[in-house]
Amino acid sequence: MTRLPIAWRALWAAAAALATAGPASAAEPMAKLVPGYGQITFVTKQMGVPVEGAFKKFDAQIAFDPQKPEGGTVSMQIDMGSATLGVPQSDAELPKAPWFDTARFPKANFQSSAIKSLGSGHFEVAGKLTIKGTTQYVMVPVTITQASGQSVATGSFTIQRLAFKIGEGEWTDTSMVGDDVQVRFKLVLAGLRPI
């Protein structure tokens, strides 16, 4: 008779341990950006000539296991006031209302909704991109390479600036500034599990 309560206590202890361990083991590992090594650039055309700019400040929260990507999430914030085209006159215009309107919309945000492995370090990340208060669904191809304990995630995708109300008023003329904008990124990460 004394063994039954002990056995029940053991079962309850095991059940409690599993209940506690379940969510913790299901949680995806966090990877961190390595400061100073990543870059986000954008390429547009002005009167048919490619012009490249960059965002100098951005951050990301990455909870992602490359071997089980379906449960992962990626969230990114971009400081729109850090945009530069490398030309002082142009840089002075970017924060203004017709373009990024950084006074009202200081950050752009990306939040993933699904991550799919395509094999050999290639992934497809779907999610919502919000710029200037407008949200669009985007599909982002990502390639991850690993060496010396670090991971490098690279990729590019194209958005239409007018869909995000970037370049309003007279700047909606796409013969002056093209509608397509290619976004390119290179993120250096620490703490990502092996592919």
Longest dimension (CA), the chain: 89
The pLDDT tens digits for 135-190 are 999 999 999 999 988 999 999 999 999 999 999 999 999 999 999 999 999 999 99
Is position 63 within any domain? yes
For 75, the domain range is 28-190
Is position 70 within any domain? yes
Is position 18 within any domain? no
CATH of residue 92: 2.40.128.110
Over residues 94-104, the mean pLDDT reads 98
Whole-angstrom CA distances from 9 to 95, 139, 182 are 64, 51, 61
Is position 133 within any domain? yes
Q: How confident is the model at residue 18 (pLDDT cuts 50, 70, 90)?
A: very low
Note the pTM of the prediction, 2 decimals.
0.83
Which helix (DSSP H) or strand (DSSP E) does residue 11 occupy? helix 3-26
- Note the helical H segments in 36-133: 88-93
Is position 9 within any domain? no
Q: Are 91 and 100 in contact (CB under 8 A)?
A: no
Nearest to 51 by CA among 164, 138, 136, 176: 176
Per-residue pLDDT, 27: 56
Residues of the chain above pLDDT 90, percent: 83
